Structure 1
Amino acid sequence: MAYATSESDAQPTKGERTRAAIVDAVTVREIGAAAGVNPGLIHHYFGSKEGLFTAVVQRSVQATDAGERLAGVPAEELGAQLVRLAEAAWGAPEQAGWMSMLRRAVAESPERLRDIGEKVSTAALVSVLPAELDHRDLRAQLAASQLAGLVLLRHVAGVGVFAQLDTEEVVALIGPTVQRYLTGELGV
């Protein structure tokens, strides 16, 4: 009999596989029911629940026209404008559905969030940074990390006083940090 040598080598137990299958089935059924379609179509069109999540996030990012809106913004105003766009995209009441999906993704599939961060968020940010800046990928990832914290604490978890601030207060508090990440000295 072979034994797993580490946790990463361990195979999920039958119970763990069954639990995962039930969670996936319930989730896919709920999504299908809410959309008024057969749940099998989710797998047909998106490959998986995670694929659907990625498509929803991409649509949300595209709906804000972030790339287009930031393209004409002076470099020294990118941080504030990016926070405003994030607030408009994630704070709007019509975003409640995808925010629910984000909560599930955080709990169930953190690797999917990494993929989205790399493919959606950072790519859009890099495209609007001045070409002469060094470390453009790092700058975009640092700014995205700040915005991810904003989304998770303010809009997903609704943490305390932070969740109660108005948009301009959030812009005044977070915009300068995002700006430093985008165009300031990084010390690397």
Structure 2
Amino acid sequence: MSASESTPKAWGRDEVRRAVLRAARSGFAAKGTSVTVREIAAAAGVNLGLIHKYLGNKEDILAAVLARDTEVSTSTIENVGSLPDAVTSLFAIGLSDPEYVRIAAWLLLEGRTDLLLGNQADGMRAVRGIAPDSRNADVRLMTALAAIAGWSLFSEGILTFAEADATDRSAIESRMSELLATIVALPQFAPDLAEDGHH
């Protein structure tokens, strides 16, 4: 290996941040918070010192990854007109990019809900912005989010256990998306809490 191949590239701040966040996201999805900054640096092809300079420590990197993912989800939700459309969009995000769900699962298993709460609050505010009555829709929404998370994490196993043909996956996911959108639109599953005597 030549000296030029062993020397890290002289990247600028934005290039370092992009490469590190991409590598960190994959690392956190695969290993949770046990992934090291050294492993992230190696995967990104970035000098360890540049990571500390431009992003900080591992907690800072994780916070940046979560903030970026939440921003994508929140902007998606804000650009739809109804709760069913929001759920359909979130399901599509979960299908195309399940890493955020994997990271969230690791953090929950590791007892690090503190890292998720702020980001999740932004998403819930976006949902409440398109569905002001979403206090009454929370059970429906939680059901849909649980299905999205579960499918993102366990779809391969579920398809195997259900003995579903892999070629049917796209059709199954399309029907699931429609079903979740229908669930959040069903008023009978979201009675007014005040009518139940709960406050």
Alignment-derived partner of residue 185 in structure 2: 179
Alignment-derived partner of residue 107 in structure 1: 109
Q: Which secondary structure state, in structure 2, belongs to the residue aligned with residue 166 of structure 1?
A: helix
Q: Is residue 160 from structure 1 mapped to residue 155 from structure 2 by the alignment?
A: no
Q: Which secondary structure state, in structure 1, belongs to the residue aligned with residue 120 of structure 2?
A: helix
Q: Which secondary structure state, in structure 2, belongs to the residue aligned with residue 90 of structure 1?
A: helix
Alignment-derived partner of residue 77 in structure 2: 66
Q: Structure 1, unaligned stretches of length 5 or more?
A: 1-22
| Aligned CA distance change for structure 1 residues 30 and 144 (closer, same or farther; 3 Å) | farther
| TM-score, normalising length: structure 2 | 0.57
Alignment equivalent of 1:88, drawn from 84, 89, 92 = 92
Alignment-derived partner of residue 170 in structure 1: 176
Q: Percent identity?
A: 15
Please list the CA deviations of residues 32-79 of structure 1 after superposition, one character each: whole Å capped at 9, or x if unmatched. Answer: 3333333425752885344134223223315x63202x2xx3xxxx34
Alignment equivalent of 1:52, drawn from 45, 55, 64 = 64
Alignment equivalent of 1:31, drawn from 19, 35, 40 = 40
Alignment-derived partner of residue 149 in structure 1: 146
Shift of 1:89: 1.0
Cα pair 1:42 1:49 within 8 Å, conserved: no
AA aligned to 2:71 is R
Alignment equivalent of 1:122, drawn from 107, 121, 124 = 124
Please list the CA deviations of residues 148-187 of structure 1 after superposition, one character each: whole Å capped at 9, or x if unmatched. Answer: 3023210023251589563331133222321237x95334
Cα pair 1:121 1:144 within 8 Å, conserved: no
Q: Structure 2, unaligned stretches of length 5 or more?
A: 1-31, 195-199
Q: Which secondary structure state, in structure 1, belongs to the residue aligned with residue 56 of structure 2?
A: helix
Shift of 1:96: 4.4
Cα pair 2:136 2:191 within 8 Å, conserved: no
AA aligned to 1:89 is I
Q: Which secondary structure state, in structure 2, belongs to the residue aligned with residue 146 of structure 1?
A: helix
Alignment-derived partner of residue 52 in structure 2: 40
Question: 1:139, 1:30 → 2: CA distance?
Answer: 44
Cα pair 2:66 2:119 within 8 Å, conserved: yes
Cα pair 1:122 1:140 within 8 Å, conserved: no
State the number of aligned residues: 149
Cα pair 1:90 1:151 within 8 Å, conserved: yes
Question: 2:146, 2:101 → 1: CA distance?
Answer: 14
AA aligned to 2:114 is E
Cα pair 1:60 1:89 within 8 Å, conserved: no
Cα pair 2:87 2:181 within 8 Å, conserved: yes
